[in-house]
Amino acid sequence: MRFRDTILSGVWIVEPQPYKDERGLFARTFCAQEFAAQGLPCRFVQCNTSWNRLKGTLRGMHYQLPPSSEAKLIRCTAGSIWDVIVDLRPGSPTYLQHFGIELSAQNRLSLFIPEMFAHGFQTLEDETEAAYQMSEFYAPELSKGLRYNDPRLAIRWPLPVSSISEKDESWDLIR
């Protein structure tokens, strides 16, 4: 795997290094030793999948408060998504700045997201699936979110929103 840094400290694009032959390819998408060498968490306690019927579906922007803040490793296993994170780390020089990247079944990239980042994505194709590895268990009482269209964040989503949950649409604006 190759780790590429981003404009937000601690956020990494993880690029598999595939072995290709006449059958197709094989690639590692996670290796505890390689993550440890980058100083990244190697313990994931939960894996989730999100299948989305319609192009333009938006999920997010979600995060969990301490002591259940979670790091995530996300990749797209079918279709494609525009994946966005927002830095919520107190005292960070990039506080409230965001970063977006296309993750797709075709490019096979993953995004490592440290604790205290809000995360969301928009599907770019119908029938898109994303897979997550989480460093902490889901704690509903510590689950929070940001409004995807908060003017203070100024996130540019690539498509009009075709589907969003009532909960995701009703998060408070940042004050």
Active-site residues: which are they? 62, 132
Cβ atoms of residues 46 and 100 within 8 Å: no
CA 39: distance to chain centroid?
19
Total Cβ atoms within 10 A of residue 58? 25
Place of tokens 């998060």: 171
Backbone angles phi, psi at 3, to 5 degrees: -105, 120
Cβ atoms of residues 113 and 11 within 8 Å: yes
Strand partners, 69: none
List C-alpha distances in Å: 36 to 30, 42, 59, 68: 11, 6, 30, 21
